[in-house]
Chains A and B, each alone.
Chain A
Amino acid sequence: MTPNETLPTDPAKEQSSECPVPPMSADPAANVLKTSRRDFLKSGGALSLSSLMGTAALMSQSGDAEAAVEWAEHFQKNYRLMTPAEKAEARLRLEKRYSDEYGKKVSVDTTEAQPGVLMGYALNIRKCIGCRRCVHACVAENNQSRGTKRPGEKIEWIQVLRMERGKFEQEKMNHGYPEGLGIQVGGNAYTPAGAVLEGQYHYNPEKVPEADATYMPIACMQCEKPPCVKVCPVRTTYREADGPVVIDYNWCIGCKMCMNACPYWARRFNLTTPVLPKEEMNPVTHYLGNRPRMRGVVEKCHWCLQRTRHDRYPACVEVCPVGARKFGNLLDPESEVSKILERKNVFRLKAELNTFPKFFYFYD
């Protein structure tokens, strides 16, 4: 198996040309000029502490600006409760900070969910070859921490589980059983065939696929009834109107209750300040998506909001060399995902927990 050569491998390179709707990026400096203080004062009584701080920060062009930006960021509201003006302001603040920090023009998109869209995902486990290109594409696209010095510095949202095919053998028929009176109460003829969820994702073969294994990628299931959202004490993680469960990284207090609640081990904690080299940083970001995170907050897959809200596929779908990954609008009967749900045998992981994932597995 070889990857499809026409598939883009470096998401950062082709963003500027292919993105149908140019990301709401702009030169932060220019934006500062656009947002005059008068505009803010016009918005009247809604002037919050954060907007005061923010305005002060954006207006002062001195060396203290950086510190002021962070200070203002500290007092901003929960993203979902911000007024459009406050959102715009928060975006500018972040764009300025990120641009300074990573030495390039960074955009922070704030595109909202579009009506009539409910995102869905389907994965053909029959086709998956376990190459883990999706894992690496996801890390590159979504600005995950990629340090190597300490184990906690490496974060991957997708895990590809390797499952042994297993077999039943004549020689093992009498291992262990029968016992006592010679009446069989069980057998040992098996090796675990079809063992799902045994955590075998640390495999490193020379070639994939391996003859004796099948693969099952797993990431956030974007549940319709997400247990992680229910347990969040500050409502920083929530379901967006178009489906994905997102996190306002600036509002997260790092209590990790969501990590206890997630049955799919989809959530990761930034144990330290993410290790994200300047040159590898993807500057096209979304506020609720792949913008760089900070120390002490939780993050997870969000179906590449920075792409999918602009009619592009998530990075993992785009990179998959065998086309195992399908993504689309569940409300559109003509979408690929809807067609799969209509025609294929699909199943959800841990369906018994009533989380109602919008991530489906299927096979031909």
Chain B
Amino acid sequence: MQQLISFTTDYTRYVLKGGTKFYAWMGSLAVLIVGMMYVFYLQNTDGLIVTGMTSQISDGLYLANLVFLVGVAAGAVTIVFPAYVYHHEGMHKVAVLGEMLAISAVIMVMVFVFAHMGRPDRLWHMIPPWGIYSFSSMLGWDVMVLNGYLILNFICGFYYLWCKYSGNPINKKWFIPLVYVAIVWALSIHTVTAFLMANNPARPMWFHSMMPIRFIVTAFAAGPSLIILIFLVIRKNTKFWVDDSAIKLLTTIVQFCLGIAIFLTLSEVVVELYARTEHANGLYYLMFGLHGLTGLVPWFWSSLVLMVGAFILFLIPRFRNDFKLLTIPCAMAFVGIWIEKGMGLIVPGYIPSPIGEVTEYHPSFVEWLLVLGIWAFGFFILTILLKGAIGIMLGEVKFGGPAVAAK
């Protein structure tokens, strides 16, 4: 117990200590978070009318970011899987950082759940015993698997850190099976999120069985892209060294998954546009516009250019081996998939509406600020979690260590 208290205090103390750069970063994130809280207040007094959502387009950026971030959370498995199943040396060292990313991403997803709801004050209605849990609802399943994933990553991540901190050996009897469960669970969260959209015959744009695999491959491209960027930032700004082998393996994973994602997108284009039924109207609107309305066209093509461009750059050895240049395709892939999930998949599901009406979606300032603020909130948490984890991994935070002596 005493160990636990000192873990908490040491952890907090270490995380709070930082240079000007650290405080400037956290301060600017905090400003965005305050802005986010203000527009969230607006949204819950005036209503979702302050967003660009309408009766026709009943969800937009919020649901899009939610879906995308579930993918980022699931993407953490691209570190954990090689680390624990293939015993990859470099990955094993950083596996806990992946778990920290998963925790922050799932928390962001949950904030986005709040953001997109009309009545977040009634969320308890879906939590038994006070509320009702519906097994037929995909949203119910999604909330369950997401919470499960959060708990799994929290236990795996912090138990590992705890052992490092206290110097106790890891109890592999339950830790390793739990890690395996978490790996499978990661697939489940994005699959269920895909079902959440795909199980709607009313929306032909989403109603196909390719959705889960497309979600998984885009997640395993976008997630590790972000992880590579974060690793490079960590290498530059901390004493913690992420092995080249880890970054190289992640690069390979991104490249393969990005290739499959592009292939699936193009397959969909061919299948839908060859027959060109009414069910292809959503895709057609996305790619070329419909009835003179072309709001999403630039989004689709920029996403495609970013994804294909990133894939080509990944093929060039110079971009893979020079870690400065590597940031370019990684950022391109990340942004490209973010667009593809949001403006390229969620929004055209609503256009045209089930009775054929074509309307445009214009996200409002409130929506953009809220989205930005939630991302800032996510990075705020991620910075804290990564900093604490790195401190422990480096041995700077240790039971009976210098932090205690300083007391």
Contacts and interface: CB of A to CB of B under 8 A. Distances in A.
Contacts, number: 142
A268 interface: yes
Interface stretch (A3-11, A39-47, A152-160): A152-160
Contacts of B126: 233-234, 253
B54 to A, nearest CB: 6
A314 B136 CA distance: 31
B184 interface: no
Contact of A233 (B140, B202, B357): B140
B54 A254 contact: no
Interface string A247-262: 0000111111101111
A274 to B, nearest CB: 10
A234 to B, nearest CB: 4
Contacts of A271: 47-49, 53-55
A308 to B, nearest CB: 25
Interface in A255-277: 255-257, 259-265, 268-273
B353 A295 contact: no
A32 interface: no
Q: Which of B53, B117, B119, B120 has the most CB of A within 10 A?
A: B119
Contacts of A236: 125
B137 A199 contact: no
Contact of A151 (B54, B120, B196, B356): B54
B58 A256 contact: yes
Interface residues of A, number: 48
B118 A270 contact: yes
Nearest to A153: B49
Given A265-B354, A271-B53, A254 B117 contact: yes
B53 A257 contact: no
B202 A253 contact: no
Interface in A143-176: 150-153, 155, 159, 161
Interface in B142-189: 143
Contacts of B139: 231, 233, 255, 257
Contact of A260 (B118, B136, B140, B203): B203
A353 B202 contact: yes
A259 B125 CA distance: 19
Contacts of B120: 253
Nearest to B350: A260
Q: Which of A257, A264, A298 has the most CB of B within 10 A?
A: A257
B205 to A, nearest CB: 11
B47 to A, nearest CB: 4
B147 to A, nearest CB: 13
B28 interface: no
B31 to A, nearest CB: 28
Interface of B: 44, 46-49, 53-56, 58-59, 116-123, 125-126, 131-134, 136-140, 143, 196-197, 199-203, 278, 349, 352-358
Interface of A: 74, 78, 81, 150-153, 155, 159, 161, 197-199, 201, 218, 227, 230-236, 251-257, 259-265, 268-273, 295-298, 353
13 contacts: A78-B132, A197-B278, A231-B200, A233-B143, A234-B125, A234-B126, A252-B118, A253-B118, A255-B116, A257-B138, A257-B139, A270-B47, A271-B54
